[in-house]
Amino acid sequence: MSKEKIIRLIIGAIVIILFYNLLTLYQFKQTLTQHVMDEIKEYTLEINELVNENSSLIARIIKNKEIKYDDLNYLYQNEDEINDSFIKILKKLKTIKSYDYLKKHIRGLHNPLMTTKDILYSYRDVKKRFNDKDKIILEKEDIKTLEVILNAYKFRNVNLDKIVKKIDNKDESWVKELEQIFLFNMWTNYNKGV
């Protein structure tokens, strides 16, 4: 066997090994992403169960026109658990932030031409809905919105709540502040079809 054939065989083997490794890595990432989304669904179910428990308890209190000390404790405990589950969802969503994932899933979640303002307004709406004490329900659409928000931006050490307050107060300075804080290249390039 000539040297050229041996070299070609070696190069071919290396290419096959590299391709196999890349395929395995891709499959692992897909499995990991699905695992995270499954966990998010579990937390969402937990939240909905707790919300239903609170609703039943409040209905009973209204019907009996009486509130007991234990009832209050139960309500507060549920509220804490709801908030904990919500925070867990946010943390899980932050682990899914690759550009490839965003590119693959965004069309199924929202209009890909959403502007940064649209996304931030969506964040505010979700947050308001969640903080509404009369109906703390995290809808499937809210999960999708949060997923897009957390994937569309590369987060740094920043408090989004401050920006949301500025939006609520109609203080337009948040737009420039946002531009300084976030890297929009990924989102801009995606909208241009890069």
Same structural domain, 70 and 142: no
Which among 42, 67, 96 is the end of a domain?
A: 96
Q: Is the pLDDT of residue 93 over 70?
A: no
Would you place residue 162 in the very low, low, confident or very high pLDDT band (cuts 50, 70, 90)?
A: low
Query: Is the pLDDT higher at 76 or at 129?
Result: 76
Q: Which pLDDT value is given to residue 182?
A: 42
Highest-confidence segment of 2-16, 17-31, 114-128 = 2-16
Domain count, the chain: 2
Q: Which pLDDT value is given to residue 56?
A: 75
Same structural domain, 63 and 116: no
Kindly report the average pLDDT of the chain as a whole number. Answer: 61
Could you list the residue range(s) of the whole structural domain that residue 92 is in?
Answer: 1-96
Same structural domain, 87 and 104: no
Query: Is the pLDDT higher at 112 or at 161?
Result: 161
Would you place residue 145 in the very low, low, confident or very high pLDDT band (cuts 50, 70, 90)?
A: low
Same structural domain, 5 and 59: yes
Which among 51, 74, 96 is the end of a domain?
A: 96
Which among 68, 96, 124 is the end of a domain?
A: 96
Q: Which pLDDT value is given to residue 119?
A: 59
pTM above 0.75, yes or no: no
Q: Is the pLDDT of residue 170 over 60?
A: yes
Mean pLDDT confidence for 125-129: 66
Same structural domain, 71 and 153: no
HEC assignment per residue over the chain: CCHHHHHHHHHHHHHHHHHHHHHHHHHHHHHHHHHHHHHHHHHHHHHHHHHHHHHHHHHHHHHHCCCCHHHHHHHHHHHHHHHHHHHHHHHHHHCCCCHHHHHHHHHHHCCCCCCHHHHHHHHHHHHHHHHCCCCCCCCHHHHHHHHHHHHHCCCCCCCHHHHHHHHHCCCCHHHHHHHHHCCCHHHHHHHHCC
Would you place residue 19 in the very low, low, confident or very high pLDDT band (cuts 50, 70, 90)?
A: low
Q: Is the pLDDT of residue 110 over 70?
A: no
Query: Is the pLDDT higher at 185 or at 56?
Result: 56
Mean pLDDT confidence for 146-164: 53
Q: Is the pLDDT of residue 144 over 50?
A: yes
Q: Is the pLDDT of residue 38 over 70?
A: yes
